[in-house]
Structure 1
Amino acid sequence: MIQPRTLKGFRDYLPAAMIPREQLMQTAREVFRSFGFAPIDTPTLEHLEILTGKGSDETDRQLYSFEDNGGRPVGMRFDLTVPLARFAAQHIGTLGTPFKRYHIAPVWRGEKPQEGRYREFVQCDFDTIGTTSELADIEAVCVIDALLRAIGIDAFTISINNRAILTGLLESLGLADKTTPVLRSLDKLGKIGREKNGQ
Protein backbone atom coordinates (compact mmCIF):
# COMPACT_ATOMS: atom_id res chain seq x y z
CA MET A 1 0.00 0.00 0.00
CA ILE A 2 1.31 3.44 -0.92
CA GLN A 3 1.72 5.73 2.09
CA PRO A 4 0.30 9.25 1.54
CA ARG A 5 3.20 11.65 2.15
CA THR A 6 4.89 14.72 0.72
CA LEU A 7 8.50 14.97 -0.36
CA LYS A 8 10.95 16.45 2.16
CA GLY A 9 10.96 20.23 1.82
CA PHE A 10 7.47 20.36 0.30
CA ARG A 11 4.14 20.91 2.04
CA ASP A 12 0.39 20.98 1.62
CA TYR A 13 -1.67 24.05 2.50
CA LEU A 14 -4.97 23.37 4.26
CA PRO A 15 -7.82 25.89 3.92
CA ALA A 16 -7.00 27.53 7.27
CA ALA A 17 -3.58 28.52 5.88
CA MET A 18 -4.55 28.95 2.24
CA ILE A 19 -7.32 31.54 2.74
CA PRO A 20 -5.13 34.14 4.50
CA ARG A 21 -2.29 33.29 2.10
CA GLU A 22 -4.50 34.12 -0.89
CA GLN A 23 -5.70 37.31 0.84
CA LEU A 24 -2.08 38.38 1.39
CA MET A 25 -1.23 37.82 -2.27
CA GLN A 26 -4.33 39.69 -3.39
CA THR A 27 -3.39 42.65 -1.20
CA ALA A 28 0.10 42.65 -2.74
CA ARG A 29 -1.39 42.61 -6.26
CA GLU A 30 -3.64 45.56 -5.43
CA VAL A 31 -0.74 47.60 -4.03
CA PHE A 32 1.48 46.83 -7.03
CA ARG A 33 -1.27 47.79 -9.47
CA SER A 34 -1.96 51.03 -7.58
CA PHE A 35 1.61 52.06 -8.43
CA GLY A 36 1.23 51.08 -12.08
CA PHE A 37 3.03 47.73 -11.99
CA ALA A 38 1.72 45.14 -14.46
CA PRO A 39 1.52 41.40 -13.79
CA ILE A 40 3.59 38.93 -15.80
CA ASP A 41 4.18 35.21 -15.61
CA THR A 42 6.98 33.07 -16.97
CA PRO A 43 7.20 29.31 -17.49
CA THR A 44 8.07 27.06 -14.59
CA LEU A 45 10.62 25.39 -16.86
CA GLU A 46 13.37 27.29 -18.68
CA HIS A 47 16.22 26.16 -20.89
CA LEU A 48 18.92 25.08 -18.45
CA GLU A 49 21.53 27.38 -20.00
CA ILE A 50 19.34 30.39 -19.22
CA LEU A 51 19.05 29.44 -15.55
CA THR A 52 22.73 28.59 -15.12
CA GLY A 53 24.14 31.46 -17.23
CA LYS A 54 26.83 33.01 -15.08
CA GLY A 55 25.63 31.25 -11.95
CA SER A 56 27.77 29.72 -9.26
CA ASP A 57 28.30 26.10 -8.30
CA GLU A 58 25.95 26.72 -5.35
CA THR A 59 23.21 27.89 -7.71
CA ASP A 60 23.78 24.90 -9.98
CA ARG A 61 23.46 22.52 -7.02
CA GLN A 62 20.15 24.11 -6.03
CA LEU A 63 18.60 23.65 -9.46
CA TYR A 64 16.05 20.99 -10.20
CA SER A 65 17.17 20.04 -13.70
CA PHE A 66 16.55 17.19 -16.10
CA GLU A 67 16.16 16.35 -19.78
CA ASP A 68 12.67 16.79 -21.14
CA ASN A 69 11.01 14.25 -23.42
CA GLY A 70 12.79 15.82 -26.40
CA GLY A 71 16.20 15.41 -24.78
CA ARG A 72 16.61 19.13 -24.06
CA PRO A 73 18.28 20.14 -20.76
CA VAL A 74 15.73 22.13 -18.75
CA GLY A 75 15.45 23.42 -15.20
CA MET A 76 12.77 24.63 -12.82
CA ARG A 77 13.06 28.32 -11.98
CA PHE A 78 14.82 28.88 -8.65
CA ASP A 79 13.89 32.56 -8.46
CA LEU A 80 11.95 35.12 -10.50
CA THR A 81 14.89 37.38 -11.36
CA VAL A 82 16.63 35.16 -13.91
CA PRO A 83 13.38 34.51 -15.82
CA LEU A 84 12.76 38.29 -15.75
CA ALA A 85 16.10 38.88 -17.47
CA ARG A 86 15.16 36.40 -20.20
CA PHE A 87 11.64 37.86 -20.44
CA ALA A 88 13.01 41.40 -20.80
CA ALA A 89 15.54 40.40 -23.45
CA GLN A 90 12.78 38.66 -25.39
CA HIS A 91 9.92 41.17 -25.01
CA ILE A 92 11.24 44.62 -24.05
CA GLY A 93 11.04 45.82 -27.66
CA THR A 94 7.29 45.21 -27.59
CA LEU A 95 6.71 46.48 -24.04
CA GLY A 96 8.90 49.58 -24.08
CA THR A 97 10.74 51.13 -21.17
CA PRO A 98 10.59 51.83 -18.38
CA PHE A 99 8.66 48.63 -17.77
CA LYS A 100 7.15 48.07 -14.31
CA ARG A 101 6.24 44.50 -13.50
CA TYR A 102 5.29 42.32 -10.58
CA HIS A 103 5.39 38.55 -10.40
CA ILE A 104 4.06 36.28 -7.67
CA ALA A 105 4.77 32.63 -8.38
CA PRO A 106 6.24 29.41 -6.99
CA VAL A 107 9.95 28.70 -7.29
CA TRP A 108 11.97 25.57 -6.48
CA ARG A 109 15.38 25.10 -4.88
CA GLY A 110 17.00 21.76 -4.24
CA GLU A 111 18.73 22.99 -1.10
CA LYS A 112 18.71 21.28 2.28
CA PRO A 113 15.39 22.04 4.01
CA GLN A 114 15.78 23.98 7.25
CA GLU A 115 13.38 25.49 9.73
CA GLY A 116 11.27 27.98 7.82
CA ARG A 117 12.94 27.11 4.47
CA TYR A 118 11.34 24.83 1.93
CA ARG A 119 12.28 23.50 -1.48
CA GLU A 120 9.11 24.94 -2.98
CA PHE A 121 7.92 28.41 -2.00
CA VAL A 122 6.23 31.47 -3.44
CA GLN A 123 8.37 34.45 -4.34
CA CYS A 124 6.96 37.95 -4.74
CA ASP A 125 8.95 40.40 -6.88
CA PHE A 126 8.38 43.81 -8.36
CA ASP A 127 10.85 45.66 -10.57
CA THR A 128 11.19 48.65 -12.84
CA ILE A 129 13.50 47.88 -15.75
CA GLY A 130 14.89 50.06 -18.50
CA THR A 131 15.61 53.20 -16.47
CA THR A 132 18.46 54.55 -14.38
CA SER A 133 16.30 57.20 -12.73
CA GLU A 134 16.50 57.47 -8.96
CA LEU A 135 12.73 57.96 -9.04
CA ALA A 136 12.34 54.21 -9.66
CA ASP A 137 14.35 53.51 -6.49
CA ILE A 138 12.30 56.01 -4.51
CA GLU A 139 9.10 54.45 -5.83
CA ALA A 140 10.31 50.99 -4.77
CA VAL A 141 10.62 52.23 -1.18
CA CYS A 142 7.12 53.74 -1.41
CA VAL A 143 5.72 50.43 -2.70
CA ILE A 144 7.31 48.50 0.17
CA ASP A 145 5.94 51.03 2.67
CA ALA A 146 2.43 50.83 1.19
CA LEU A 147 2.48 47.03 1.05
CA LEU A 148 3.58 46.58 4.66
CA ARG A 149 0.95 49.04 5.85
CA ALA A 150 -1.74 47.36 3.71
CA ILE A 151 -1.10 44.02 5.40
CA GLY A 152 -1.24 45.60 8.86
CA ILE A 153 2.43 46.08 9.70
CA ASP A 154 2.97 49.63 10.91
CA ALA A 155 6.26 49.40 12.83
CA PHE A 156 9.11 48.60 10.44
CA THR A 157 12.41 49.87 9.11
CA ILE A 158 13.34 49.84 5.43
CA SER A 159 17.09 49.41 4.96
CA ILE A 160 18.67 50.63 1.74
CA ASN A 161 22.03 49.63 0.31
CA ASN A 162 23.99 50.09 -2.86
CA ARG A 163 25.82 47.10 -4.27
CA ALA A 164 28.14 49.39 -6.27
CA ILE A 165 29.50 50.86 -3.02
CA LEU A 166 30.23 47.39 -1.58
CA THR A 167 31.78 46.24 -4.85
CA GLY A 168 33.98 49.35 -4.98
CA LEU A 169 35.08 48.80 -1.39
CA LEU A 170 36.09 45.20 -2.14
CA GLU A 171 37.98 46.33 -5.24
CA SER A 172 39.86 48.97 -3.22
CA LEU A 173 40.86 46.25 -0.74
CA GLY A 174 42.14 44.02 -3.56
CA LEU A 175 39.26 41.56 -3.11
CA ALA A 176 37.48 42.03 -6.44
CA ASP A 177 37.68 38.27 -7.13
CA LYS A 178 35.82 37.61 -3.85
CA THR A 179 32.88 39.92 -4.60
CA THR A 180 30.23 37.22 -5.16
CA PRO A 181 30.96 35.10 -2.04
CA VAL A 182 31.38 38.18 0.17
CA LEU A 183 28.10 39.73 -1.00
CA ARG A 184 26.34 36.38 -0.59
CA SER A 185 27.66 36.06 2.98
CA LEU A 186 26.63 39.61 3.82
CA ASP A 187 23.17 38.91 2.43
CA LYS A 188 22.83 35.79 4.61
CA LEU A 189 24.27 37.44 7.72
CA GLY A 190 21.08 39.14 8.81
CA LYS A 191 18.96 36.11 7.94
CA ILE A 192 20.87 33.25 9.56
CA GLY A 193 23.46 34.95 11.80
CA ARG A 194 27.25 35.00 11.90
CA GLU A 195 27.73 31.54 13.47
CA LYS A 196 25.60 29.69 10.91
CA ASN A 197 26.94 31.75 8.00
CA GLY A 198 30.43 30.38 8.61
CA GLN A 199 32.16 32.98 6.46
Structure 2
Amino acid sequence: MLPREALIDTAKRVYRSFGFSPIDTPALEYAEVLLGKGGDESDRQVYRFEHGKHDVAMRFDLTVPLARFVAQHEQELGLPFKRYHIGAVWRGENTQRGRYREFMQCDFDTLGTESMIADVETGLVIHELLRAIGFQEFTIRLNNRKVLNGLL
Protein backbone atom coordinates (compact mmCIF):
# COMPACT_ATOMS: atom_id res chain seq x y z
CA MET A 1 0.00 0.00 0.00
CA LEU A 2 1.23 3.51 -0.79
CA PRO A 3 2.17 5.65 2.24
CA ARG A 4 -0.52 8.24 1.51
CA GLU A 5 -3.22 5.56 1.24
CA ALA A 6 -2.00 3.93 4.44
CA LEU A 7 -2.23 7.26 6.30
CA ILE A 8 -5.73 7.90 4.99
CA ASP A 9 -6.88 4.37 5.86
CA THR A 10 -5.42 4.74 9.36
CA ALA A 11 -7.17 8.08 9.89
CA LYS A 12 -10.49 6.62 8.73
CA ARG A 13 -10.12 3.62 11.05
CA VAL A 14 -9.35 5.84 14.06
CA TYR A 15 -12.16 8.29 13.31
CA ARG A 16 -14.68 5.47 12.92
CA SER A 17 -13.51 3.80 16.14
CA PHE A 18 -14.68 6.94 17.97
CA GLY A 19 -18.04 6.97 16.19
CA PHE A 20 -17.32 9.63 13.57
CA SER A 21 -19.15 9.24 10.25
CA PRO A 22 -17.69 10.21 6.88
CA ILE A 23 -19.09 13.01 4.78
CA ASP A 24 -17.98 14.33 1.43
CA THR A 25 -18.66 17.69 -0.14
CA PRO A 26 -18.12 18.94 -3.67
CA ALA A 27 -14.69 20.23 -4.63
CA LEU A 28 -16.46 23.16 -6.32
CA GLU A 29 -18.77 25.41 -4.35
CA TYR A 30 -20.48 28.66 -5.22
CA ALA A 31 -17.90 31.39 -4.68
CA GLU A 32 -20.24 33.40 -2.45
CA VAL A 33 -20.54 30.40 -0.11
CA LEU A 34 -16.79 29.86 0.16
CA LEU A 35 -15.86 33.53 0.37
CA GLY A 36 -18.75 34.77 2.51
CA LYS A 37 -16.58 35.76 5.46
CA GLY A 38 -13.10 34.96 4.22
CA GLY A 39 -11.91 38.46 3.43
CA ASP A 40 -9.22 39.65 1.07
CA GLU A 41 -6.64 36.98 1.94
CA SER A 42 -9.07 34.17 1.13
CA ASP A 43 -10.11 35.92 -2.08
CA ARG A 44 -6.52 35.93 -3.31
CA GLN A 45 -5.94 32.26 -2.49
CA VAL A 46 -9.06 30.81 -4.08
CA TYR A 47 -9.24 29.36 -7.56
CA ARG A 48 -12.39 30.87 -9.10
CA PHE A 49 -14.23 30.15 -12.33
CA GLU A 50 -17.22 31.58 -14.11
CA HIS A 51 -19.92 28.99 -14.69
CA GLY A 52 -22.93 30.47 -16.39
CA LYS A 53 -24.68 32.83 -14.00
CA HIS A 54 -22.60 31.73 -11.01
CA ASP A 55 -19.01 32.09 -9.96
CA VAL A 56 -17.69 28.83 -8.57
CA ALA A 57 -14.53 28.23 -6.59
CA MET A 58 -12.45 25.27 -5.48
CA ARG A 59 -12.64 24.64 -1.75
CA PHE A 60 -9.63 25.99 0.16
CA ASP A 61 -10.45 24.08 3.34
CA LEU A 62 -13.13 21.71 4.59
CA THR A 63 -14.71 23.99 7.21
CA VAL A 64 -16.86 26.20 4.99
CA PRO A 65 -18.22 23.20 3.04
CA LEU A 66 -19.05 21.58 6.41
CA ALA A 67 -21.08 24.63 7.43
CA ARG A 68 -23.00 24.50 4.15
CA PHE A 69 -23.54 20.74 4.55
CA VAL A 70 -24.92 21.18 8.07
CA ALA A 71 -27.20 24.05 7.01
CA GLN A 72 -28.48 21.96 4.11
CA HIS A 73 -29.05 18.76 6.13
CA GLU A 74 -29.77 20.15 9.59
CA GLN A 75 -33.17 18.42 9.90
CA GLU A 76 -31.65 15.01 9.13
CA LEU A 77 -28.62 15.18 11.41
CA GLY A 78 -28.78 13.78 14.90
CA LEU A 79 -26.97 15.74 17.57
CA PRO A 80 -24.28 15.64 18.49
CA PHE A 81 -23.14 15.24 14.89
CA LYS A 82 -19.72 13.60 14.68
CA ARG A 83 -18.18 13.68 11.24
CA TYR A 84 -14.87 13.29 9.52
CA HIS A 85 -13.90 14.47 6.08
CA ILE A 86 -10.76 13.64 4.15
CA GLY A 87 -10.37 15.44 0.86
CA ALA A 88 -8.25 17.53 -1.43
CA VAL A 89 -8.23 21.30 -1.00
CA TRP A 90 -6.63 23.96 -3.17
CA ARG A 91 -4.95 27.27 -2.35
CA GLY A 92 -3.46 29.74 -4.77
CA GLU A 93 -0.28 30.20 -2.75
CA ASN A 94 3.27 30.41 -3.92
CA THR A 95 4.68 26.92 -3.72
CA GLN A 96 7.62 26.40 -1.41
CA ARG A 97 8.93 23.68 0.84
CA GLY A 98 5.95 22.23 2.69
CA ARG A 99 3.43 24.54 0.96
CA TYR A 100 1.54 23.16 -2.01
CA ARG A 101 -1.34 24.41 -4.10
CA GLU A 102 -3.17 21.12 -3.68
CA PHE A 103 -3.03 19.04 -0.53
CA MET A 104 -5.06 16.54 1.44
CA GLN A 105 -6.85 17.76 4.55
CA CYS A 106 -8.17 15.44 7.27
CA ASP A 107 -10.79 16.98 9.55
CA PHE A 108 -13.03 15.67 12.29
CA ASP A 109 -15.60 17.63 14.26
CA THR A 110 -18.28 17.19 16.87
CA LEU A 111 -21.15 19.62 16.38
CA GLY A 112 -24.22 20.34 18.46
CA THR A 113 -22.92 19.83 21.98
CA GLU A 114 -21.28 21.96 24.63
CA SER A 115 -20.24 18.92 26.64
CA MET A 116 -16.65 18.79 27.82
CA ILE A 117 -16.74 15.11 26.87
CA ALA A 118 -16.50 16.16 23.21
CA ASP A 119 -13.40 18.22 24.02
CA VAL A 120 -11.79 15.30 25.85
CA GLU A 121 -12.69 12.97 23.01
CA THR A 122 -10.99 15.33 20.53
CA GLY A 123 -7.75 14.95 22.47
CA LEU A 124 -8.18 11.18 22.58
CA VAL A 125 -8.74 11.00 18.81
CA ILE A 126 -5.60 13.05 18.16
CA HIS A 127 -3.62 10.89 20.58
CA GLU A 128 -4.85 7.64 19.03
CA LEU A 129 -4.23 8.88 15.49
CA LEU A 130 -0.66 9.93 16.24
CA ARG A 131 0.01 6.56 17.90
CA ALA A 132 -1.61 4.67 15.02
CA ILE A 133 0.61 6.34 12.42
CA GLY A 134 3.71 5.48 14.39
CA PHE A 135 4.59 8.37 16.68
CA GLN A 136 5.69 7.03 20.05
CA GLU A 137 6.54 10.26 21.85
CA PHE A 138 4.68 13.51 21.33
CA THR A 139 3.13 16.36 23.26
CA ILE A 140 -0.40 17.65 22.76
CA ARG A 141 -0.84 21.22 23.91
CA LEU A 142 -4.29 22.54 24.70
CA ASN A 143 -5.48 26.10 24.74
CA ASN A 144 -8.76 27.68 25.71
CA ARG A 145 -9.58 31.22 24.66
CA LYS A 146 -11.99 31.65 27.60
CA VAL A 147 -9.22 30.89 30.10
CA LEU A 148 -6.84 33.28 28.37
CA ASN A 149 -9.47 36.02 28.26
CA GLY A 150 -10.11 35.49 31.97
CA LEU A 151 -6.42 35.97 32.72
CA LEU A 152 -6.18 39.17 30.70
Is this a same-fold pair by TM over 0.5? yes
* Cα RMSD (Å): 1.4
Which residue of 81, 93, 112 corresponds with 2:94? Answer: 112
What is the TM-score of this pair, normalised by structure 2?
A: 0.94
In the TM superposition, 1:164-175 aligns within 5 A as 164-165=146-147, 168=149
Which residue does the alignment assign to 2:67?
A: 85
Measured after TM superposition, the shift of residue 165 of structure 1 is 4.6
2:8 pairs with 1:19: no
Which residue does the alignment assign to 1:126?
A: 108
Structure whose residues are more often helix by fraction: 1
Aligned residues: percent identity? Answer: 65
Gaps of 5+ in 2: none
Gaps of 5+ in 1: 1-17, 173-199
| One-letter identity of the residue aligned with 1:23 | A
Which residue does the alignment assign to 2:126?
A: 144
Question: Of the two, which has the highest radius of gyration?
Answer: 1
Q: Give CA deviations for 1:142-199 in whole Å, capped at 9, x if unaligned.
A: 0000011111101000111123455x47xx6xxxxxxxxxxxxxxxxxxxxxxxxxxx
Structure whose residues are more often strand by fraction: 2
Which residue does the alignment assign to 2:42?
A: 59
Task: Kindly indicate whether structure 1 or structure 2 has the higher relative contact order, using CA contacts under 8 Å at least 6 residues apart.
Answer: 2
Q: Give CA deviations for 1:20-50 in whole Å, capped at 9, x if unaligned.
A: 1101100110000000000000000111111
Which residue does the alignment assign to 1:15?
A: none
Dislocated runs of 4+, deviation >4 Å: none
Question: Secondary structure of 2:83's match?
Answer: strand
What is the TM-score of this pair, normalised by structure 1?
A: 0.73
Partner Cα distance (2:125, 2:18) in 1? 7
